[in-house]
Amino acid sequence: MMQSLSLIQQLAIMALPLVLAVTVHEAAHAWVADKLGDDTARSLGRVTFNPIPHIDLIGTIVLPLGLYALSVLTGSAGFLFGYAKPVPVLAHRLRRPQRDMAWVALAGPGANFAMALGWAMLFAVVSSWMDLLAGSAEFFAYMAIFGVMINVFLMVLNLLPLLPLDGGRILAALLPPAWAQQYARSEPWGLFILLGLLFSGLLMPVILPIVQGLQRWLLA
């Protein structure tokens, strides 16, 4: 998409959409949890759309930059992945713990979908004002396209039914209590399973058609 741009230009285009994608995702979890009775995140200053309290040095900065640098050095498409500081949620403080945990979990991917819509709208505006914006148009058009891409990717990835991802939280909330307890035992291994699926290339053929279909629909 951005092969004609320098590395610095590419990083400048990707920085804002990526940071917002992972930090607003966590802010949405915090906001919904607070509304449903658990003020733990609010007490820690996490009910805010200011990215700074949500940034994780490794997950938000080092990991995405490292993956991108690796893709540039190897000349492969690769994938871009990142995360912010997880928002602490105490289920027993929610008004209806099982149901409300599903809403808290769904808030993150929901925020990514809303941001993807917002970036798609920016792309539509920039495309229609191309002559007026002159040299700035290409920069903002690329940024909007990447904003759609990263938010759709993170939304689909997070909805996988795998703990500790949001999809896993939603599934756990929908299962009968006895099944949910058994399912919760898989959480310590969930991140390793996810990374193994990503780096082995087994996961991308499954989620890529969904991601690309949503991206094309939004940018159309």
The catalytically annotated residue of 19, 23, 25, 26 is: 26
Q: What is the per-residue pLDDT for 73?
A: 72
Q: What is the mean pLDDT of residues 181-196?
A: 91
- Domain ranges, ordered by start, for the chain: 7-219
Compare 76 and 200 and report the one with higher pLDDT: 200
Q: What is the mean pLDDT of residues 83-102?
A: 92
Is the confidence at residue 14, as pLDDT, over 70? yes
Is the confidence at residue 80, as pLDDT, over 80? no
- State both tokens at 204: 């991308």
- What is 124-193 written as a DSSP string? HHHHHTHHHHTHHHHHHHHHHHHHHHHHHHHHHHHTSS-TTSHHHHHHHHHS-HHHHHHHHTTHHHHHHH
Digit-coded pLDDT (tens) for 193-209? 988 998 888 998 999 99
Sign of CA dihedral 192, 182, 158, 109: negative
Q: What is the mean pLDDT of residues 27-54?
A: 94
- Taking each continuous run of H as one helix and of E as one strand, the counts in the chain are 10, 0
Q: What is the pTM of this model?
A: 0.90
Q: What is the mean pLDDT of residues 41-50?
A: 92
Q: Tell me how crowded residue 25 is: count the other CB atoms within 10 A of its CB.
A: 25
Burial grade of 124 (CB within 10 A; 0-12, 13-18, 19 or more):
middle
Is the confidence at residue 61, as pLDDT, over 60? yes
Digit-coded pLDDT (tens) for 123-182? 999 988 876 666 678 889 999 999 999 999 999 999 999 999 999 999 999 999 899 999
Q: How far apart are CA 14 and CA 12, in angstroms?
A: 6
Q: What is the per-residue pLDDT for 115?
A: 98
User: Is there a catalytic annotation at residue 138?
Assistant: no
